[in-house]
Amino acid sequence: MKIIHKLQERDLRGRGGAEFPVAFKWLSVLKARLEDIERPVYVVCNAAEGEPSITKDMYILRHHAKEVVEGMMIAMETFDAKEGFIFIKQKNYQKLKGKLDRAVKGKNISIFATDGGYICGEETTLLNNISGERREPRIKPPYPTEKGLYNQPTLVNNVESYYFVHKIDKNDYHHTRFYSIGGAVKHPGVYEMSEKMTMAEVLKATGNVPRFKYFAQVGGGAAGEIYLPEELNCRLCGAGSIIVYNQKTTPPQDLMKKWVKFFYDENCGQCVPCREGMLRLKEELNKEKPNWTIIRAILHTQKDTSLCPLGRSAYYPMISLMEKVGIGKNTKIKRLKD
């Protein structure tokens, strides 16, 4: 298929967080389609955007809804898909209702507006939600490209990915991406710039380099990892977000409590490491003197054993904050004797 070849040639990566090659996912759907041409195929746009302090997808839909839908239509034509869905939070749909309704008018694309939380942005939970099943992740494999919506081959891509599919199809792709910048900065917002820029270059180009001692959370306001200023000379990947914190006015333990409360409130309760781990982290962090060894142990357990990315994600911001900003830095996990 010509468009898949173009996606491979331009090396378009998913913009939802994992940076998975878009062409590879499309080829997986095509393979499943060709193995049984009687099976229906579905195309889904993941516009859930549940990470706190990130508004990139909503910015794109506000300004480029037509292009996003055209990207979906290209996918639907490629796979001769039966139907398409835009999965979006109800509150965001209400803000963009006119633009989205006009963009999908006359097309076989439905808007699925949900009151579901953060976990619904996980692709298999999203598909369960659309089909009326319980809002919780599936065990993978099989992947959605093989058994997705209604157990049929399904393509799930992010808003930004479909936008750039449209650009690539029109030979108008210049290796740019969208960056979401927030926190303690002068000019917060969403910017489209070269995908090859480093995080330091992005902050400088947007006039957002702080004049105070700071650290940055990269990749989301909950799951994003902590970077120090000297670590920002590398390319920004995944969800494309930078949130700046004033190190002097941001108590690390309070920030960790905020993250844990978010993960605790948003987890689906399906797997023990995440369900119980978040509760224990919440209890420990609410103590005047938390046991940082226990906190580290819980986070490592969650990273290694949680069913879906929500449970695993808590590890990265909290451990990196502990290591780089100093809270609980000298604690270690002791091995139990046999």
CA atoms within 13 A on the CB side of 94: 5
Alpha helical stretches, state H, the chain: 2-10, 22-35, 56-79, 90-104, 123-130, 159-169, 199-205, 252-266, 272-285, 292-305, 309-313, 315-325
176-246 CATH:
3.10.20.600
For the beta carbon of residue 106, count every other beta carbon within 10 angstroms: 6
On the question of pLDDT at 238 being above 80, the answer is no
Nearest-angstrom CA–CA distance, 85 and 63: 19
- For residue 334, pLDDT over 50 is answered with no
> Is residue 167's pLDDT more than 90?
yes
Please report which confidence band the pLDDT of residue 328 belongs to, taking 50, 70 and 90 as the band edges.
low
Query: What pLDDT is stored for residue 335 in this prediction?
Result: 40
Q: What is the pLDDT of residues 115-143, one digit of tens each?
A: 888 888 899 999 999 999 988 999 889 99
The CATH number that domain 2-169 falls under is 3.40.50.11540
Q: ω into residue 251 within 30 of 0, thus cis? A: no
pLDDT tens figures, 23-50: 999 999 999 999 999 999 999 999 998 8
**pLDDT higher than 70, residue 192:** yes
- Residues spanned by CATH 3.40.50.11540 within the chain? 2-169
pLDDT greater at residue 179 or residue 312: 179
Q: What integer best gives the mean pLDDT of the chain?
A: 92
- The alpha helices in 80-209, defined as continuous H runs, are 90-104, 123-130, 159-169, 199-205
Model confidence pLDDT, tens digit, residues 102-113: 999 999 999 999
Q: Tell me, what's the pLDDT at 120?
A: 87
**Given a cut of 60, is residue 337 above it in pLDDT?**
no
Query: What is the structure's pLDDT at 17?
Result: 66
Residue 331, pLDDT score: 55
CATH 3.10.20.600 domain locations along the chain: 176-246
Per-residue pLDDT at 333? 47
* Percent residues over pLDDT 90 in the chain: 78
Binned at pLDDT 50, 70 and 90, residue 338 comes out as: very low
pLDDT at 211 exceeding the cut of 70 = yes
Sequence ranges of the chain with CATH classification 1.20.1440.230: 252-325
Q: Would you state the pLDDT for residue 336?
A: 33
pLDDT in tens, 58-86: 999 999 999 999 999 999 999 999 899 99
Question: What architecture (CATH level 2) is domain 252-325?
Answer: Up-down Bundle (1.20)
